[in-house]
Amino acid sequence: MAASLRLRNSLEKELTPEKLLQWTNPSAMANAKVNVFLPKFKINGEYDFKPVLESLGMTHPFDENVSDFSEMSETKGVVLSQVLHRVSLDVVEDGADSRDVPGYRILQHKDEFKADHPFVFLFRHNKTRNIIFAGRFCSP
């Protein structure tokens, strides 16, 4: 278990935006048919983005003396008190679906991924390569 924790910490320290782009570059990937085994899990979170936005210099929407929502509201002095983001991911066992991948190749020595250890995951929009959701699962 300690080795697994060290590996996870090592991976997370290496996970820079540049490395992620390199690791997920479509030209470096091949289509392959892989059996994936994930544990059933649910992740919920709530994040307050007001401090983040203010640290980036976006302070006007939170200050009634300078906020301007005139294009959205006729009421003067409208301000934002919070910017909340709620997220939920529910991985269930119902997702046992097999699909043929055009042009797939058979992996040598490793045709399955079994997530029976801590892992990092992300959802990415392939066309723009933007990360939509990322997380870490620590206790399978």
Calculate what percentage of the chain has a pLDDT beyond 90. 22
Q: What is the pLDDT of residues 109-135, one digit of tens each?
A: 567 888 888 888 888 888 888 888 888
The strand pairing partners of 44, in sequence order, are: 88
pLDDT of residue 115: 84
Its domain, for residue 136, covers 1-40+117-140
Is 139 part of a structural domain of the chain? yes
Decide: 91 and 40 in contact? Cβ < 8 Å: yes
Please report, for residues 18, 21, 31, 129, 137, the alpha-carbon distance to residue 27 in angstroms, rounded to integers and kept in the order given: 15, 11, 11, 13, 28
* Cβ count near 108 (within 10 Å): 6
At 87 the three-state DSSP class reads: strand
Is 25 part of a structural domain of the chain? yes
The four Cα atoms 96, 101, 106, 110 give a dihedral, to 10 degrees, of: -40
Total domains, the chain? 2
Is 102 part of a structural domain of the chain? no
Residues 7 and 33 in one domain: yes
Closest by Cα among 59, 47, 126, 50 to 81: 50
Q: What is the pTM of this model?
A: 0.57
pLDDT of residue 68: 92
**Plot region of 49 (φ>0 → left; ψ -120 to 50 → alpha; else → beta):** alpha
Is 105 part of a structural domain of the chain? no
Is 108 part of a structural domain of the chain? no
Residues 32 and 54 in one domain: no
From CA 114, how far away is CA 23, in angstroms rounded? 20
Is 83 part of a structural domain of the chain? yes
pLDDT band at 62 (very low <50, low <70, confident <90, very high): very high
Is 111 part of a structural domain of the chain? no
Q: What is the pLDDT of residues 12-23, one digit of tens each?
A: 777 888 888 888
Is 124 part of a structural domain of the chain? yes
Six-digit token string for 125:
């929009």
DSSP state at residue 81: S
